[in-house]
Structure 1
Amino acid sequence: MGRPEESRSEVSAVALVGGLGDVLSALSKALQRKGHLVEIVLPKYDCMQYESIQDLRVLDLVVESYFDGQLFKNKIWIGTVEGLPVYFIEPLHPAKFFWRGKTYGEPDDFRRFSFFSRAALELLHQADKKPDIIHCHDWQTAFVAPLYWDLYAPKGLNSARICFTCHNFEYQGTAPASEIASCGLDIHNLNRPDRMQDHSSPDRINPVKGAIVFSNIVTTVSPTYAQEVRTSKGGQGLHATLNAHAQKFVGILNGIDTDSWNPATDSFLRFQYNTNDLEGKAENKKALQRHLGLSFSDSRRPLVGCITRLVPQKGVHLIRHAIYRSLELGGQFVLLGSSPVPDIRREFEEIAKNFENHEHVRLILKYDEALSHSIYASSDMFIIPSIFEPCGLTQMIAMRYGAIPIARKTGGLNDSVFDVDDDTIPVQLRNGYTFVTPNEQGFNGAFDRAFNHYKNDNESWQELINRVMNIDFSWDTSASQYEELYLQSVSRARAARQAAG
C-alpha cells in the first residue's frame, strides 16, 4: 500500500493541544517505520512552534479553494516535523483564519475548519496526489469525508479511501445548517437525518455525523469506548448513527511514543533509570520533593501523582477527595494541571493556597512539560479517576515510569489497567488498581488497597513496578491494526472497481 495522507488540525511538536497531537505524530511515525509514505496536512497557525519544523519553505504552488461563493488563494508551505513531511496551508483570506494566537476555541471555528478541509482536498487535487488513504481526525477535519465524495471523487481524486478517527465524541462541532454551504456542500442533500442533520434540531448540522456516514473506515481510540458510544448513555446523541454504520466502526487502543516517554533516556529527568536499576526513580522522587518544598525525610512515604486537565470528565471531585485521602493514609500528593472552567479553576486555586506551605501536598495549576516528566518518574502511584475516558495516555506513561495506576474502569482505562486482585485476569496482566462507581467510596476501595500493598508488601510492590515498566504500550501494535484496516478497505475498493469493469 502506498500512502496514507493525514488531514488533521494539529500534530505533536508543532501545534500540540492535549493528547491529540501526541497520538497523531506517534501513529504517523509508526506507519512510516512500517514502510508507508505518510504526509500530513495542517493549517499554518501563527502560534506553532516553528523551531520544531525543519526546512520550512514555501512551495511554488498557489492553491485556489472555494469559500462563500468565490475562490481564495492559499499559500502552501512544506517542512519536516520529527522526520515526517508536513504541508502547511496558509489561507489568504481576510478573516485570517489561522492567525489568531491559538488553534481552537474561536467563535468561527466551524468556518475556519470547513475552509481548511476544502483547501486540503484542493491541495491533493491540484498537486496531483494519489493517496490510498485519507485519514481525518476529529470534527475539525470531518468535513473532508462529504467533500471528498460529493466534489472531489467526481473530479478524479477517486483512488482514496476515507478513514475518520474520533478521539472524543463529546466534541462534535455542530452549527446552523446554513453554515455548511460556505465550503460548497449542498444543504438540501446533507441536512437529512440519515446524513449530517444533528439529532438536537433539524436546523443544525453535525460534522462528526457526516464523517461517520461518508467515511469508509470509522475508528475511535479504545475498544471499550467504542462499545460505550454505541449506547444512548455514552453516544452523545450519535449512538443510532454509529449502530447503523457498525460494520465499519472499530475501537483501537492508542499507544504512546516510547521514544519520548522512556525513563532510561529521558533528558527531562535528573536521574535516568530502568527496570534493572530503579535507584534513579528514588533519586528523582527526592529531587522533586526538594524542588517543590515537600518533606523528603521518609523515603517510604508514598507519593501520589496526578497530571490532568481539570474538567468534569476527569472526575475532579475524586481528584479533590484524593488529596485529603492521601494525607489521611500517610502519603504525599502532587497535582499538575490547569482548568478552562472558571468554577473549577477557582476551587483548585483555593485548595492550592491552603496547601502552599504544606510538607506533603503541592498543586501546580499550569502546563509544564518538564515537570510532568519529573512527576511521572517520582510518583509511586498515579490516579486517573475519569468519569469517561476515550483512551487515556497518562496511565500508560505512568506505568512506563514505574508508577502504579489507580483508575476507574471506563473507556481505554478499562482496556489498559487490570486490577491486581481480580482473579478473572491472568496474573501477568494485572498492573494496577481499579474501581467502577465514581464516588468517594468506590475510589477508596481501590486507593486504600494500593496504600496497603505499598506499605505492607514491598517485595511484591517492586515486582509490580517491574511488570508495569515492561508492558509494551508502543504504537507498533495499534499501527498494525490501522494498517490492516487500510489494506482491507483498499483491497475491497480495487475489487469493486475491477468487478465494475
Structure 2
Amino acid sequence: MNKFLFVASENDGIENCKVGGVGDVIRDVPRQISDRGDKVDVVVPAYSRLHKEGVLKAKLNLLLRDVTYVAYLYEVPAKEQYDNIRHFVIHHPEIEAGNIGGIYHNDLEEPFYSDVVKYTIFCTAVAEAIKQGHFGKLDIVHLHDWHASLLLFLRNYFPGYSDLRNIRFIYCIHNLAIQGIRPFENSYSSLRNWFPFVNYDTESLKDPRYHECYNLMAMGIRFADAVHTVSPSYKEDVMQPSLPPEFIGGEGLENDLKQADKEGRFYGILNGSEYQNVKVVKKNQLFQNIAGTLFRQLQRETDKAKSDFLAHTGDKVIPLLKKKPKFICASVARLTEQKFYFFKHSPEALLQILDQLAEVDGVYVLLGTGATDYEELLRTVSYKRNNFIFINYQSEDVVDSIYRDSDLYFMPSLFEPCGISQMLAMRNGQPCLVHHTGGLKDTVQHVHTGFAFDGKTYDEKVYNMVESFREALHFFQNKKSSWKQIQDNARKMRFTWKKSVDEYYKLLYDFGGVKPQIAY
C-alpha cells in the first residue's frame, strides 16, 4: 500500500474550501487513489475558519523570521466519507481568509503579498508535520500550483527538512499565468524576511524577468521530481513564449519547462470529470432558480447600486418564467482576463452575439463574480441588452440548472489550462463553443461535439468568435438532425478520472506501472 500527501490551496472534499478547478481536482483524485487501495492525506490552509469543526492533531513549532511560530494541524470532516482518505488543515493567525472566495487575496498594489505570507507559513507547517510523522511514512507528495511549491525550497535548502529528499515530489501546474512572484529582500513577504538564516542559491530561485524576485511557480518546475500540466495541449502551449493577446504560452517560464521536458520529467495529462453519483437536477428550473437567487440577495443587499441591479435583472427574468426563450446560451466563470478578455477588449463582439440571439428569441445567461472592471462592463451590457442576464452572485442551484437547461455553453477563454465547465456541459449533452486553446483543444471537436474558433491575429479571433456563434445558431435552427448528433456526441464523451489517474501512476508516481483500480 502506497501513502500519498496532497498539498494545495483548495479542497472541495471539505466544506467551504473551493474557488476554482483546483478544488475539484483535490476532491476527485484522492478518491481515485483510494479506489486503488492506497492511502491519501490532503492538507490545505484553514483560512481562519476551516479548523473550527476539526480535531486538533498537533502543535507545530516553526522557525520563521528567526523566531518560533506556532501553527496547529487539525483533522477535519469530509463532505463524503471515503476509505483511506483523511483531510487536514493548518491554522495560524496569519493564514487569513482572502477576499476571493474566502481563500485568495487580491493585492492590487503589491501582487501576491498577502498570499505569499500565508502560504509560506502553511508550507513550513506542512514540512514540519511531515518531519514529525503526522501523515505517516509518505511515498508521494503531490503539490498543486505555486501555493504549495515552497515545500521544494525547504526540501532543498532548509537543513531541518533534508529528510524530505527521501520522498518523491510531484508538481502540478493548474495555471501557469499566476506565479507567486515576490522580492528576495526588503519586504515583509520577501524570502530573506522569512528565512534569514537559510543559505540558498539565488540563481536557482529567481524569476527570469525580474531578477530581484523569486518565483514560486519556477521553484515547482525546477525542483520537483516530476511536473505536469492539466492537459496535453496546455503542455505544448507553455513550452512556447507568450505573444499576448494572440497567444498565451510559457509566460517567461518556457525555458524552464523545455528543460524539464528535455530531462524527461514534464508531462501533460488531461484532468477528468465525474460521471458517477452525479447530482440529478430537475429540468426547466433555470429561470425559477435565478429569480429565487435574485430575491434572496435583494433581501440581504444593503448597497443601493447593487440592489438596483438586482431589481433590474429580476425585471428581465420575470417574463421568462412564463415564456421560456427559444435558445439559451450560458457561461459560468470567474470574471478575469483569462475568461473574458475578448469581451473586455471587444465589447462590440458581445453586443453582436446578443443581437444574433435576439433574432432567434434567445438569451445569454452569464454567472460570475470577480474583477471589478469586468463586473462593471457586464452590468453596463445588461442595461443595454434585454436578452443578457448577468447573475453577479454565486448560486449552486443556478449553476446546476445552467448545465442542465442551456442549449449552448460558451467558453471564450483567452487561454485554458484544462477547463472543467465544458466537460460538465457535455456530460448533459450540451454543445460548447470554445476558443481553440489549451485543454479546450483536447475536449471539444468542431462540428462534432461542439464548436471552436481561433485565428492568427487578435482581430481574426474576435471575428471568428462571432462567426462561430452564428454557425452554432445556424445548426440549431436549420440543421436539426446535425445539432441532435452534436448533442449526442457531446453526451457520449468520457473524460474520466480513472484514465487520468492511471497516467499519474504510470508517468508521475513511478511505481513501475499502473496499479489496477479495485473499486468503482
Do residues 117 (structure 1) and 123 (structure 2) align?
A: yes
Match among 320, 331, 339 for residue 314 of structure 1? 339
Do residues 245 (structure 1) and 254 (structure 2) align?
A: no
Task: After TM superposition, give the deviation of residue 19 of structure 1 in Å.
Answer: 1.8
Please give the secondary structure, in 2, of the residue aligned with 1:419. Answer: coil
Please give the secondary structure, in 1, of the residue aligned with 2:77. Answer: strand
> What is residue 518 of structure 2 aligned with on the other side?
none
Task: After TM superposition, give the deviation of residue 470 of structure 1 in Å.
Answer: 2.2
- Relative to structure 1, the CA distance from residue 284 to residue 474 in structure 2 (aligned partners, 3 Å threshold; closer, same or farther) is farther
Question: 2:341·2:414 contact (CA, 8 Å) conserved in 1?
Answer: no
Do residues 411 (structure 1) and 429 (structure 2) align?
A: no
Question: 1:304·1:334 contact (CA, 8 Å) conserved in 2?
Answer: yes
Please give the secondary structure, in 2, of the residue aligned with 1:347. Answer: helix
**How many Å separate the matches in 1 of 2:254 and 2:432?**
30
> What is residue 38 of structure 1 aligned with on the other side?
40
Do residues 440 (structure 1) and 462 (structure 2) align?
A: yes
Match among 61, 72, 96 for residue 94 of structure 2? 96
Please give the secondary structure, in 2, of the residue aligned with 1:323. Answer: helix
Question: 1:152·1:158 contact (CA, 8 Å) conserved in 2?
Answer: no
Mapping for residues 381-460 of structure 1, pairs under 5 Å = 381-420=408-447, 430-437=448-455, 439-460=461-482
> What is residue 2 of structure 2 aligned with on the other side?
2
Task: After TM superposition, give the deviation of residue 85 of structure 1 in Å.
Answer: 0.9
CA RMSD of aligned residues (A): 2.6
Partner amino acid, structure 2, of 1:331: G
**How many Å separate the matches in 1 of 2:198 and 2:427?**
48
Question: 1:302·1:380 contact (CA, 8 Å) conserved in 2?
Answer: yes
**How many Å separate the matches in 1 of 2:76 and 2:161?**
30
Identity %: 24
Please give the secondary structure, in 1, of the residue aligned with 2:218. Answer: helix
Q: TM-score, normalised by structure 1?
A: 0.83
- Relative to structure 1, the CA distance from residue 367 to residue 323 in structure 2 (aligned partners, 3 Å threshold; closer, same or farther) is farther
Over 6 Å off, 4+ runs: 288-291, 296-300
Q: Give the total of aligned pairs.
A: 452
**How many Å separate the matches in 2 of 1:289 and 1:207?**
40
Task: After TM superposition, give the deviation of residue 46 of structure 1 in Å.
Answer: 2.4
The gaps in structure 1 that reach 5 residues or longer are: 272-279, 421-429, 493-501
Question: 2:5·2:141 contact (CA, 8 Å) conserved in 1?
Answer: yes
**How many Å separate the matches in 1 of 2:373 and 2:9?**
29
Do residues 471 (structure 1) and 471 (structure 2) align?
A: no
Mapping for residues 125-204 of structure 1, pairs under 5 Å = 125-127=131-133, 129-151=136-158, 155-178=162-185, 179-184=190-195, 189-192=200-203, 195-204=204-213
Q: TM-score, normalised by structure 2?
A: 0.80
- Relative to structure 1, the CA distance from residue 99 to residue 284 in structure 2 (aligned partners, 3 Å threshold; closer, same or farther) is closer
1:340-361 CA-partner distances (Å, limit 9, x unpaired) = 2x32221211222334xx3x43
Task: After TM superposition, give the deviation of residue 187 of structure 1 in Å.
Answer: 6.9
1:186-217 CA-partner distances (Å, limit 9, x unpaired) = 7763310xx11111222111111111111001
1:11-50 CA-partner distances (Å, limit 9, x unpaired) = 1133111221112111121222222211011112224496
1:102-125 CA-partner distances (Å, limit 9, x unpaired) = 321163321211111111011011
- Relative to structure 1, the CA distance from residue 78 to residue 299 in structure 2 (aligned partners, 3 Å threshold; closer, same or farther) is closer
Do residues 367 (structure 1) and 389 (structure 2) align?
A: no
> What is residue 29 of structure 1 aligned with on the other side?
31
Task: After TM superposition, give the deviation of residue 153 of structure 1 in Å.
Answer: 8.4
The gaps in structure 2 that reach 5 residues or longer are: 108-112, 243-248, 293-316, 344-348, 514-520
Please give the secondary structure, in 2, of the residue aligned with 1:254. Answer: coil
Task: After TM superposition, give the deviation of residue 289 of structure 1 in Å.
Answer: 8.6
Question: 2:207·2:218 contact (CA, 8 Å) conserved in 1?
Answer: yes
> What is residue 246 of structure 2 aligned with on the other side?
none
- Relative to structure 1, the CA distance from residue 214 to residue 324 in structure 2 (aligned partners, 3 Å threshold; closer, same or farther) is same
